[in-house]
Structure formats: structure tokens, C-alpha cells
Homo-oligomer: A and B are copies of this chain.
Amino acid sequence: MLIAMNDYFRRELQRRQLKLTPPRRLVFEALQNGGPLTMSELIRRTQPAVDRASVYRTVARFEQIEILHHLIVGGRKVIELTERFTGHHHHLSCVRCGQLQDVHDEPLEAALQRLADTHGFDAHNHVIEVSGVCRACATQAAA
């Protein structure tokens, strides 16, 4: 799985005639291992090997070629690999601890599709964010 992902990543760069450099590989790996990250967290995790400016440039480039995308969770912009790498999913965002949980649910997807159809809307993409309190934090609060 990881091998396949790296392989796809490498070929995607080749296809666009972009070079596979250490900064690019490190940014990709940080996201691969660390899930959705804020920009500053991504910068922190690639330091000191990669300069801030290069992280910004790499993120912008990767966004163009749809290797990663950004979304806003809990009012914060976070970056994650696209669905090609992560599969289609949404986020449960805990307002206490800030942790993100990936979820996927077919009934939800189906309901969304029907809603779009009802309005004659050709849905290409969608983002869902649910904020609340995760099980761990709820348990802790009760203790």
C-alpha cells in the first residue's frame, strides 16, 4: 500500500515533468505519516531539512497537480493528501482536544447525492465537517 502510494506519487511528478527532490519527498512523507496537518505543523515536521519557503512552494505545486488539497477544520486551514491517497472520507473535529477523526459512511453519501439531485445540482465534490466532543474527551470529562 505504502509502496503503491509512493509509486503513484513518483509517477505523477514524472508525468508533469517535475523533479523528485528531497524537500518534495519529505513534505509528501510528513503528510503520509501525519495525516491532516496545519501549515505550521507541516513546516515544523520538515525542519530543519526543508526551508519554510520551500514548504509553501511545494504545497502550492502539489495542490495544482492534485497530490494534496486544503480544507478548513475548526476554523483552521489544514492540508492533507487527496482522495487518491487517502480514500474518500470526512472529519469529526473535537473542540476539546483538536484531534481529527477520519470517517466514511455510505448512507450519508447517498443522502447527499439525493439532495443534490432534488435541486438539479451536479455535485462534483463535497466537504463535511462535524465538530463536537470525541469519545475520549467525553469520558475524561465524566471522570
Q: Which residues of A contact B (CB under 8 A)?
A: 70-72, 75-77, 92, 94-95, 101, 103, 105, 107-108, 110-112, 114-116, 118-135, 138
Q: List, sorted by A's number, 8 A–B pairs whose CB atoms are closer than 8 Å.
A: A70-B75, A71-B72, A107-B115, A115-B130, A121-B130, A122-B132, A123-B131, A124-B132
Q: A67 vs B124: C-alpha distance in the bound complex, in angstroms?
A: 31
- In the complex, the count of this chain's copies comes to 2
Q: A112 vs B108: C-alpha distance in the bound complex, in angstroms?
A: 6
Q: A111 vs B112: C-alpha distance in the bound complex, in angstroms?
A: 9
Say whether B133 contacts A122, CB under 8 Å.
Answer: yes
Say whether A122 contacts B138, CB under 8 Å.
Answer: yes
